Amino acid sequence: MDKQNRILIVDDEKINIKLLTNFLQDEYKIMAARTGKQALKAVRGPNPPDLILLDIILPEMDGYEICNAIKKDEKNRHIPIIFVTAVSEVMDEAKAFDLGAVDYITKPFNPVTVKARVNTHIQLSTTMRDLKAALAKVKKLSGLLPICAKCKKIRDDQGYWNEVDLYLEKNSNAKFSHGICPDCSDELYGNHDWYQKKKTTQLKRP
C-alpha cells in the first residue's frame, strides 16, 4: 500500500485508537479524532483522509451524524467510511449503509479482517479516482469542436483560437513531431528548380 494514504480513526476510546493504529501504521499515515467535531475538522482540513474508520457511539455527535455530514459535503463525500463499532443490531448496520458507508465491522474485531477491508476499499477508491481522471481527459476531446473552415484553427472553451497541434497538446497526452506533407511541399516550393529536380529524382527511383 502507498504510505501516503491517510486513515482517520474516529473513536472516543484511546485503546481502540491505539489497537487500530498498531495494525495499520506500517502501511498508512494515521490520523485520530475522539469527537465528532474533531473528525469533521480533520476531514475538512488541508489534508483530508483517504478512508475513515468510524465508531457510532461518540460524544457531541454520533457516528451516523458524522457520516451524514460528510456525505452531504460535495468536496469530501467520496471518502469511504467503514463503521467499526460494538453496535451489532441489523437495523444499525442497515442505517450505516443507507447513509453511505462502504463497510461495517463489529467489535471485538479481527485485526486481519480490518486490515484486509481497509486495503480493499483504498484500492477501490484509488481505481475510481483514476477512472474519473481518465474520463475527464476523454470528455475534453469529445463533442463538437468549433473549427475554422479556412485556417483550420480550433476554438477552445475560453473562446481562443488555437492551432490544431497546440489544442491537442493542451487537451490530451499527444506529442507532435512536425513535418510537411507532399501537398504543402508542392504549394511552398513548387516554383523552385531544386524542388522540381528532387521530385524528378524521387520519381525515377525504383
Q: What is the mean pLDDT of residues 126-130?
A: 86
Q: Which pLDDT belongs to residue 168?
A: 67
Q: Which pLDDT belongs to residue 141?
A: 58
For the stretch 13-48, pLDDT in tens is 999 999 999 999 999 999 999 999 999 999 999 999
| CA–CA dist 206, 196 (Å, integer) | 18
More confident residue, 191 or 67: 67
Do the bridges between strand 51-54 and strand 81-85 make them parallel or antiparallel, or are there none, so unpaired? Answer: parallel
Cα dihedral: 7, 62, 101, 23 (round 10): 30
Q: Which pLDDT belongs to residue 27?
A: 93
Give residue 129's pLDDT band: very low, low, confident or very high (50, 70, 90).
Answer: confident
pTM, entire model? 0.66
For the stretch 46-73, pLDDT in tens is 999 999 999 999 988 999 999 999 999 9
Q: Which residues contact 160 (CB under 8 A, 6 or more apart)?
A: none
Domains defined for the chain, CATH in brackets: 6-138 (3.40.50.2300), 143-175 (no CATH), 179-206 (no CATH)
